[in-house]
Structures are given as structure tokens and as C-alpha cells.
Amino acid sequence: MARTLEVLDSRGLAEDLLAQAATTAEVTLFGGARLDLTGLHSRYPFAMITPQTNVDQALGRYAEQHGATIRRGVQAVAVDQDADTVTVTTGTGNLIRARFVVAADGAHSTVRHLLGVEFPGRTVLSSVVLADVKLTRGPAGNGLTLGNTADSFGFLVPYGCHDSDGSWFRSMTWDRHHQVGDREPVEADEVEAVLTRSMGRDLGITGLSWHSRFHCDERQVRDYRAGRVFFAGDAAHVHSPVGGQGLNTGIQDAANLAWKIDAVLGGADDAVLDSYQKERHPIGQRVLRQSGLLLRGVTLRPAAGRWLRDRITPRVLSRPRIRDLVAGSFAGTTLRYRRRPGDHELVGTRATEVPLTGPRLTVLQREAGFVLVRLRGAAPIGTLPQAERTDQGPLLLVRPDGYIAWAGPADGDWQAALRTWLSPAAANR
């Protein structure tokens, strides 16, 4: 999604990922309604379609190039913490001590279990089948296509990969009348039958390769912080894949948390880390609600409800303002963090699209830290990395994750805002 691509661009990763991915600017929903992403206020007015492993590998390479050590095959089996330290015991009995730990260990988080942190919520859909299918008569173009009946749905994502006997798609299918356990084998006939029914025509399956059956829960931990341990990604929140939000939300959790840990390790007040919960928990809640609403829309059963849904959705999404609001919410570009009373209205919004005279903001952000965006025509101020804006907007102090920490006039006290996030030494540097 656009906001994640912007975050990846702020680490110089977006272009390479896009070079090996397909993109789409359109999602077809109920009643022929189309969610058009081209109105997104972003350098990336589309969704990127790529195997998750490509994103994982790009992040892994980046982390290692910047000094991180990634230890594969090491299992956390115990976690203990005191006032200063967290100790993680590995499966081979080694102890790893750190001042903070990020539990990014997925939906079944071991760390969550070890700390006794609840994961309240429930199962919302079972026996969903994911498969790579080759179709001779798949949907044309590069859009994402949803088809559904009262008792089934099919969702097709094109890989943009064509053979002489068809094109490859990732399909997601569900049949209300075929509810079996996750371990039940997936048959090509089953996928074909549900796709034909939900799309209303025979798509001509000529191949089925990787496939999996799974169930979806909607759950979220109440507090993303447990002492010196922070929950991020699926360890903190899970929902159905409808809406494609999980990995996007997890990456943005990480972008929000990482620089705050760095700031506190550098001497900033520990309260900086409490803002992680304040900022990311409401976003997670919203993502669960949004994805849940879409899922319930897709699986709606009563004929009258379906009739209304198919009439209303296309009309609503044909209004550019509403369409762009919905698209921006899924793409993450319109999500904002709360501002405090007295803050400028821009505080908490992303600064990514502010027009600058030099390189774009995400290029400046490749050097870690805060960035100052000066008024048009203003001379450089202080020692922070900075740029000059080309429009008439205010002076901006931009956080390392691209969100506005402070906005105001040229003589405003942006240094006071900087001091709330960093140690005195780092803020006065």
C-alpha cells in the first residue's frame, strides 16, 4: 500500500521492490463498484503486488547492511525482565540481554504467551483457501477482482505473469457449505468450483500450484507495551487478509517504534516509548474495524442486505471525495496520529507530500533523524538536516518516521518540540 511504499522509500527500498513487482490501481468490489487508487495523494497511487518474501528479504538485507545481526533458527523460549533489562532465553539455553525487546514473533507470539498477555478477540472466518492458479479466462487487466454469492467468495490478484496456456493469479476462496479444518487437503476441483460460482463464469483453470487452508481471527492486545517489551505486527493485532492490511500495519508499527527506542537508548525520557501505544493501538483498532467491515460485507448473506450493498457501494465509491477517503484509509496515507491541545492541525499527519526545492522528503529521511522543512525562501536554520518548501505552508519539524512533530511560523519554538522527543544532548546538537 502507498504509505508502506513511502516508508520503504525512506530507506531507499521502494524502487527495487517495485522493479520486481506488479502494481494495480483498481480494486473491483460488490455490485461492480471499483475502488480507484489513482486519486491517492502519494508518489505511489497504486498497490504493489509482490510475494511477501521479497519484502522480508529487502528489509533483512537493509538491516544487515546497517549493522544488525540476524540470527536465524534461534527460538525464544523464556523471557524475564527487571527494572533495567530483559533477558531472553533461547532454545539452546543461551541468554540474550537487552534493555528492550520487540516481540515481532507473529500471530502465535511466544513472547505474548510467556508474559501472560491476553489476545482478546475471536475467529471470524474458517476454511479459507489460498492458492496460486493459472487461468485461461481470468479477469482482464491488472486490477484486483472480488466475486461473491450469498454463500461463497473468490478474490483474484494477478501476478502479471503469462504463459501460452494462461495467466497466474493468487486466489482466495471461501465456501460457506464447505467448512473443514485447516489441515484438510485443498483440491483443484474445490478451488475451481468456488471460483466459478463466485465469479459467475468458468475462468478455465489450467494449473494449481502452492495452496493452503487457514482460518482468520480478529484480535488485538490491549497494551502494546509490557514493561520493557513491545508488541509489533501480528503479535499485536490480527485480522482477515481482506483489505491487505496486516503486513502494512506491522511495518508501520516498526517505523513508529524503532526511532523512539533509539531516542530512549540515547538518553530521551522513557515516556517517549509510551507514545507507541497511544499512537499505534488506535490505528490497529481502526484496521481491525475496517478489515472486519469489508469481510462482513463480502460474506453478507440476506438477499435484501446484498441487494442494498450492491446498489449503495458503487454509488458511494463513484464520488471522488469519498472514494479517495476510503482509498487513503486502506492505503494508510490519510491515517494520522493524535495531536495535543494547542498543536498545529498538521501535527500527526505525514509530511511526505510537502513540495520541496531539493530531493523529496523520503530521500532526506535516509539519513536517520528529524528533518526541518523551512519556509519558502528562508535561510538554513541550525544543524538539523533540512529542506526548503516551495509552497506557502508553515515551518515543519518532521519525525524520523515522516510524521509532523511540530508546525508553525518561522520564529516558532520547534526546539521545544524536539526536546520532548530527544535527550537534551541530542536535541541541542
On the 0-12 / 13-18 / 19+ scale of CB atoms within 10 A, 380 is exposed
Site string for ligand FAD, 190-229 (x = CB under 6 A): ------------------------x---------------
Q: Check residue 246 for interaction with ligand FAD (CB under 6 A).
A: yes
Q: How far is CA 293 from the centre of its chain?
A: 17
Which CB sits closer to ligand FAD, 232 or 364?
232
Which CB sits closer to ligand FAD, 9 or 105?
105
Which CB sits closer to ligand FAD, 184 or 345?
184
| Closest to 198 in 3D by CA, of 228, 156, 166, 240 | 156
Beta bridge partners of 168: 134
Helix (H, G, I), strand (E, B), or coil: what is residue 122? strand
- 422 touches 368 (CB < 8 A): no
Site for ligand FAD in 66-95 (CB under 6 A): 75-76
Which CB sits closer to ligand FAD, 208 or 347?
208
Whose grid coordinates read 525562501? 377
Give the DSSP letter string of 255-271. Answer: HHHHHHHHHHHTT--TH
Query: What's the CA gap between 220 and 171, in Å, rounded?
Result: 27
Question: How far apart are CB 420 and ligand FAD at their closest, in Å?
Answer: 29
Residue from 18, 22, 180, 247 touching ligand FAD (CB under 6 A): that is 247
Query: What's the CA gap between 327 and 351, in Å, rounded?
Result: 18
Residue from 19, 32, 52, 342 touching ligand FAD (CB under 6 A): that is 52
Site string for ligand FAD, 100-129 (x = CB under 6 A): ----xxx---x-------------------
Q: Check residue 248 for interaction with ligand FAD (CB under 6 A).
A: yes
Question: How far apart are CB 228 and ligand FAD at their closest, in Å?
Answer: 17
Residue from 12, 60, 139, 244 touching ligand FAD (CB under 6 A): that is 244
Residue from 22, 78, 115, 130 touching ligand FAD (CB under 6 A): that is 130
For the record, the C-alpha cell of 351 comes out as 509530511
* DSSP one-letter code for 234: G
- 370 touches 405 (CB < 8 A): yes
For the record, the C-alpha cell of 421 comes out as 522527543
Residue from 245, 291, 299, 362 touching ligand FAD (CB under 6 A): that is 245
Torsion of CA 339, 341, 342, 346, to 10 degrees: 20
Question: How far apart are CB 429 and ligand FAD at their closest, in Å?
Answer: 33
Which CB sits closer to ligand FAD, 241 or 400?
241
Total number of residues that touch ligand FAD (CB under 6 A): 19
Q: Check residue 233 for interaction with ligand FAD (CB under 6 A).
A: yes
Contacts of 95 (CB under 8 A, 6+ apart): 87, 88, 89
- 232 touches 238 (CB < 8 A): no
Residue from 234, 279, 324, 401 touching ligand FAD (CB under 6 A): that is 234
User: Residues in the site for ligand FAD, rule: CB under 6 A?
Assistant: 52, 75-76, 104-106, 110, 130, 214, 233-235, 241, 244-248, 250
